[in-house]
Amino acid sequence: MSHVPDAVIIGAGVVGAACAYYASRAGLDVAVIDRGPVAGGTTGAGEGNLLVSDKEAGPELDLALLSIRLWRELADVLPPETEYEPKGGLVVAPDETALTALRAFAEAQRQAGVEAYEADADRLRDLEPRLAPGLAGGFHYPQDAQIQPAMAAAHLLRASGADVRPGEEVTGVLTDRQGAVRGVRTTRGDLHAPAVVNATGTWGGRIAELAGVHLPVLPRRGFVLVTEPLPPGLVRHKVYAADYIADVANGSAALQSSAVVEGTPAGPVLIGATRERVGFDRTLSTAALRRLAAQATALFPVLGGVRAIRAYHGFRPYLPDHLPAIGPDPRVPGLHHACGHEGAGIGLAPATGLLAAAALCGGRPALDVRPFRPDRFPEQKGPAA
């Protein structure tokens, strides 16, 4: 381990992979370490959402709009098996009250640069012929897209040329006498570097703790149902009800669910998404799955006669203000963070990687990074939750 890279990135999910990709494009030599395989955590359990439709005007939407542009660029250089699909999103309202609220939400988004087009009830059926009747209307978001997240992470890492070290757990963050980062300690030895990037998703708080700082990342469990393969075009867009937006913004620990329904190139339809804070409990929740199935069939009655062949779940890295931590940590020189994206990490990965690379190089960021400062949370004594 005598080689000294410019930075060590902890985490081989899609965010860590994007950090490696853009850091290498900026001329840096990086190593990527993960205690498991590539995309073995939250990335591998994600649906691959690349969304602007669910984000209110503000810092996260700015990050999402930058990422959408970057994903389009990446789609031209990544191989077809990443399954990039600019399918667009469709947000539907069950009644006039919900439609009025959605109309105000979309107008604020449009002022921030989002493409959002209102669709009346007849237009909804043109966009999605299998939708349930009786919906009041909705909005079409052509910028929404989809990707196969594990494949995207793997190919971003390959394109980065990084020294990728799966199955190697970080057990400590090395610092000098002045408290500045000097690398990491792993189960295979010490790896020295002048910068360390914490891109460990739900484990971001634990890595921060190893460096002696507080970052309150908590896991938020979510389930996804997968149907048997269905004919192409049965579900044309990423479709969800307007109450999904409220679920995303809600910080409650209790179970919340709002169906997000979408087809895949391989045929199965994916049905998410639930949210609940139960720690790292991996117990299968039949209540959550039943709720998802009922909500999905309410949107698409045709799914009532379709078999669900499996379900899977993962843990979203939740921060209390629903914004990720991105950039250098002023409490520990040389420590950087790129975590806490909750359920939006796949969509926000390229912009996060671009911002992380700029910080590592001392360059100018592509947008205002102050809302994502890692030290914005009150200090807390004791271990990370």
Beta carbons within 10 angstroms of residue 133's beta carbon: 8
Beta carbons within 10 angstroms of residue 374's beta carbon: 27
Concatenating the DSSP letter of every residue in 347-359 gives: HHHHHHHHHHHHH
List the strands of the sheet with 181-186, edge to edge: 170-175, 181-186, 189-192
Residue type, 89: G
| Residues 310, 249 within the same domain | yes
pLDDT of residue 249: 59
> Residue 103: which CATH number?
3.30.9.10
| Residues 294, 359 within the same domain | no
| Residues 186, 279 within the same domain | no
Domain count across the chain: 2
Residue at a domain's end among 318, 340, 369: 318
Residue at a domain's end among 303, 318, 333: 318
| Residues 63, 178 within the same domain | yes
| Residues 73, 160 within the same domain | yes
| Residues 175, 198 within the same domain | yes
| Residues 108, 241 within the same domain | yes
Residue at a domain's end among 260, 293, 318: 318
pLDDT of residue 385: 41
Residue type, 78: L
pLDDT of residue 254: 77
- Which of 92, 23, 81 lies closest to 48, judged by CA? 81
> Residue 72: which CATH number?
3.50.50.60
Question: Could you tell me the residue range of the domain that residue 37 belongs to?
Answer: 1-88+143-217+320-385
| Residues 64, 98 within the same domain | no
| Residues 374, 229 within the same domain | no
- Which of 356, 349, 355, 345 lies closest to 322, judged by CA? 345
- Which of 124, 120, 47 lies closest to 292, judged by CA? 47
pLDDT of residue 383: 45
| Residues 212, 228 within the same domain | no
Q: Is 84 exposed, middle or buried (0-12, 13-18, 19+ CB in 10 A)?
A: buried
| Residues 20, 105 within the same domain | no
Q: What is the pTM of this model?
A: 0.94
> Residue 379 has what DSSP assignment?
P
| Residues 27, 81 within the same domain | yes
* Strand blocks (E) in 150-298: 163-166, 170-175, 181-186, 189-192, 196-198, 218-227, 238-241, 256-263, 269-275
- Nearby residues of 364 by Cβ (< 8 Å), 6 or more positions away: 358
Residue type, 107: E
pLDDT of residue 275: 87
Q: What is the pLDDT along the chain (385 residues), one digit of tens a residue?
A: 468 999 999 999 999 999 999 999 999 999 999 999 999 999 999 889 999 999 999 999 999 999 999 999 999 999 999 999 999 999 999 999 999 999 999 999 999 999 999 999 999 999 999 999 999 999 999 999 999 999 999 999 999 999 999 999 999 999 999 999 999 999 999 999 999 999 999 999 999 999 999 999 999 999 999 999 999 899 999 999 888 776 665 667 777 888 899 998 889 999 988 889 899 999 989 989 999 999 999 999 999 999 999 999 999 999 999 999 999 999 999 999 999 999 999 999 999 999 999 999 999 999 999 999 999 999 765 444 4
